[in-house]
Amino acid sequence: MEMAKTSIGPSDGPICSICIANYNGIGIIDSTLLSVMAQDCDFPIEIIVHDDASTDGSVDFIRENFPDVKLIASKINVGFCVSNNRMVSNARGEYILLLNNDAMLFPNAISTLYKEARRQNPPGIFGLPQYNFFTGKLIDRGILFDPFVNTVPNLSTKRTHVGMVIGACFWITRALWKELGGFPEWFHTLGEDIFLCCIARLRGYPVKIIHTSGFWHRIGDSLGGGKVVANRLSTSKKRRTFSERNKSFVMALTYPT
């Protein structure tokens, strides 16, 4: 096991809480946790994992191999939105980083986000460029929207303000999260990042991408689909159901009448 470069769990409290929602991720979450523990930052952090009633031994694996992680083990499956809301409720850091269990951070990711967040007034939501874990290719530098809230990847390094940053790597202050109300729990999963970013922008808070770091993502590992395979969008019935329902709600809530 690699030794952590980053201070975890100090007595005076963490600056940032990294919150990782996990469901049956025993084969991937170790890479995620190690990427967090190897961060090149000089301030204390805490790592919180919410396990959503996994059946693959994830809970025992995390307890045995990552004893410094604060583990919330749910007895029933409650979904991605509830999982993240629970973690933020238990977080002590001034800043929150939501991170998927199939995402891995570049070594300077947390320090890059922290430096930018300290400069930003009013506070905002921040994300990083997303890279395909398997190919190393750039996926997006934040997300733009078409009129129907279909996502369009931003690839330009000249654009910093975007429509949304994806929930797989989502930085926000704990105070702003509470002000915005967190993720709508009835969404279950998908579109919660769209919702929170749209609400933030309507209230005057920026949503920005920071180009000087990034993260790798095994897209679709947890829910299936969500990526392009052989020039066609791979998806699933479950993914489409949640996505279309939740996007429609965002349009109804945020579009002018």
Q: Is residue 167 part of a domain?
A: yes
| DSSP 8-state code for residue 187 | G
Q: Dihedral angle at the C-alpha atoms of 195, 147, 234, 172, nearest 10 degrees? A: -30
Cα separation, 62 vs 206, whole angstroms = 35
Q: What CATH number does the domain containing 174 carry?
A: 3.90.550.10
Other Cβ atoms within 10 Å of 127 Cβ, number = 28
Report yes or no on 11 lying in a domain: no
Which pTM was predicted?
0.88
Is residue 124 in some structural domain? yes
Query: Domain span at residue 240?
Result: 16-254
Contact 222, 100 (CB under 8 A): yes
What value does the CA radius of gyration of the chain take, rounded to a whole number of Å? 17
Domain total of the chain: 1
Q: What is the DSSP letter of 164?
A: B
Cα–Cα distance measured from residue 74 to residue 246, given in angstroms and rounded to the nearest whole number: 24
What are the pLDDT tens digits along the chain (257 aa)? 233 345 565 457 999 999 999 999 999 999 999 999 999 999 999 999 999 999 999 999 999 999 999 999 999 999 999 999 999 999 999 999 999 999 999 999 999 999 999 999 999 999 999 999 999 999 999 999 999 999 999 999 999 999 999 999 999 999 999 999 999 987 777 889 999 999 999 999 999 999 999 999 998 665 554 445 445 555 567 767 778 887 877 888 888 86
